[in-house]
Amino acid sequence: MTKILDVQHLKINFATFAGQVQAIRDVSFHLNQGETLAIVGESGSGKSVTVRSIMGLLANNAQVKAGQINFKNHDLLKMNARDLEKIRGNEIAMIFQDPMTSLDPTMPIGKQVAEPLLIHGKATKKAALHRAEEVLELVGINNAKNRLKDYPHQFSGGQRQRIVIAMAIVNNPEILIADEPTTALDVTIQAQILELLKELQQKIKTSIIFITHDLGVVAGIADRVAVMYAGKIVEFGTVDEIFYDPKHPYTWGLLNAMPTLKTDSERLYAIPGTPPNLLNPPQGDAFAPRNPYAMVIDYQAMPPFFKVTDTHYAATWLLHPDAPQVTPPLAIQKREAEYQILLHQHQTLAQRSNVNDHE
C-alpha cells in the first residue's frame, strides 16, 4: 500500500517550571492511503500530542527535539506557518473531542461549515454555502437547507458532532484526524458516529487517524492499531493481531479493562499503578513497575521492537528468545469470541435507528 503520511523518530518535550517533560519519546508510524489507523492508550500517553504535531497545533511551551513528519515529500515540521496553513483544514483536517469547543456559539452552522472553503479560496460565498448544505446532508443532518442559519445550541450533542465532522470534510481532506470524537456521546450515538466515519471514508476516499483510550471502539473501525504508553508506541499490528494475538503486557491490560456483553462482575479490571513521571523517564521499560511479568532487564534497558509477523511488532523483552515463556491471562485467550461480540455490538447499535430518532 502507498504511504500517505510517515512519522519518523518524533521527540517532543514540554518546558515547565519543574523541568522538561519528555511527552513524546521517539515515536515512528505511518498511515497508508485509504486506511484507518487507531492510536490507543491511557490519558497522558501522548496520543493527542502526536497528532497535534501533525497539524502544527502544539502548545507554546512544546519543543520538537527531533523527528520528521513527511506528507507528500514535505516535512511538516520544517514548514513555515503560511505553508502549513495551506495544508491544515484543507489536505489534513481534524475532528476534536468536544464539539462545543470547536463550534462558535455566535455563528450559524452554515457559515461555520462553509468557512474552510472560503479560507482556502476554493469557492465563492454562495457556492460555499451550497457545499455546506451538501456536506451537512452527507453527515446526516436532516433538512440541512433550512438549518443553515441555526446556531449550535439548537442541535443535540450527536448532531453537533456531525456538524464538526462536516466542517472537517468539507474540503475533502486526504487525511482526517479524529481525536476521541465519540467520548462525550452515549453508546448508541457513539456507534452511529463510528459508522458514519466508515461510510465517509469510502465516499470521500480519505485516510483516518483515530485517537482513543478505548480499544473496544476500534474493533469496528480500524485497519491497524498502534498502542502508546508513556510517550512511546509499544505495540502495533493489524486490528485482528492486536485483538487475537497481543504480545505486550500493557496491551493485555487494556484488553482486560474493556467491558463486553459477557462481563459478569460488578467491578472492571484496572491496570495497577500509574504511568511514570516523564520529567524523569525510567531507564528501562516504562511499563515495568505495573507489569506483573517484568524481569530484571525490564528495569535496566528499554526493549527494542521484536517482530511477530510482517505487520505485527511489540517492544517487550518477553519476546526475546532467552525470555521465559509467559502465557497471556485467560481473559486474553478468550478475546476472539469477545472481539466478535464487539463487532456485533457496533453493527447492531449503528443500525438500530437513525441518530435523529434518539435525540
**pLDDT at site 53:** 96
**pLDDT at site 355:** 45
Q: What is the mean predicted confidence (pLDDT) over 271-291? A: 94
Q: Does residue 334 register a pLDDT over 80? A: no
Q: Does residue 165 register a pLDDT over 60? A: yes
Q: How confident is the model at residue 121 (pLDDT cuts 50, 70, 90)?
A: confident
**pLDDT at site 264:** 57
Residue from 214, 216, 218, 236 nearest 227 by CA: 236
Average pLDDT over all residues of the chain? 89
Q: How confident is the model at residue 139 (pLDDT cuts 50, 70, 90)?
A: very high
- What residues contact 178, with CB distance under 8 A and at least 6 apart? 94, 95, 197, 208, 209, 210, 211
* Residue 326 grid cell: 509467559
Residue from 257, 271, 243 nearest 341 by CA: 243
* pTM of the predicted model as reported, rounded to 2 decimal places: 0.90
Q: Does residue 96 lie within any of the structural domains?
A: no
State percent of the chain over pLDDT 70: 89
- What residues contact 277, with CB distance under 8 A and at least 6 apart? none
Q: Does residue 107 lie within any of the structural domains?
A: no
Q: Does residue 111 lie within any of the structural domains?
A: no
Span 14-26, pLDDT tens digits = 999 999 999 999 9
Q: What is the mean predicted confidence (pLDDT) over 202-228? A: 90
Q: Does residue 81 lie within any of the structural domains?
A: yes
Q: Does residue 348 lie within any of the structural domains?
A: yes
CB 230 within 8 A of CB 287: yes
**pLDDT at site 148:** 96
Q: Does residue 223 lie within any of the structural domains?
A: yes
**pLDDT at site 358:** 45
Q: What is the mean predicted confidence (pLDDT) over 143-165? A: 94
Bridge partner residues of 92 (DSSP): 88, 175
* Three-state DSSP state, 228: strand
User: What CATH code is carried by the domain that includes residue 66?
Assistant: 3.40.50.300
If one compares 40 and 1, the residue with the highest pLDDT of the two is 40
* Residue 170 grid cell: 468539507
Q: Does residue 336 register a pLDDT over 70? A: no
Q: What is the mean predicted confidence (pLDDT) over 25-52? A: 96
Q: What is the mean predicted confidence (pLDDT) over 96-111? A: 89
Q: Does residue 357 register a pLDDT over 50? A: no
**pLDDT at site 188:** 79
Q: What is the mean predicted confidence (pLDDT) over 214-226? A: 88
| Domain ranges, residue 51 | 1-91+171-359
Overall number of domains in the chain = 1
How many angstroms separate the CA atoms of 70 and 53, rounded? 12
Q: How confident is the model at residue 87 (pLDDT cuts 50, 70, 90)?
A: very high
Q: Does residue 43 lie within any of the structural domains?
A: yes
Q: What is the mean predicted confidence (pLDDT) over 175-200? A: 86
**pLDDT at site 133:** 96
Span 237-248, pLDDT tens digits = 999 999 889 999
Q: Does residue 289 lie within any of the structural domains?
A: yes
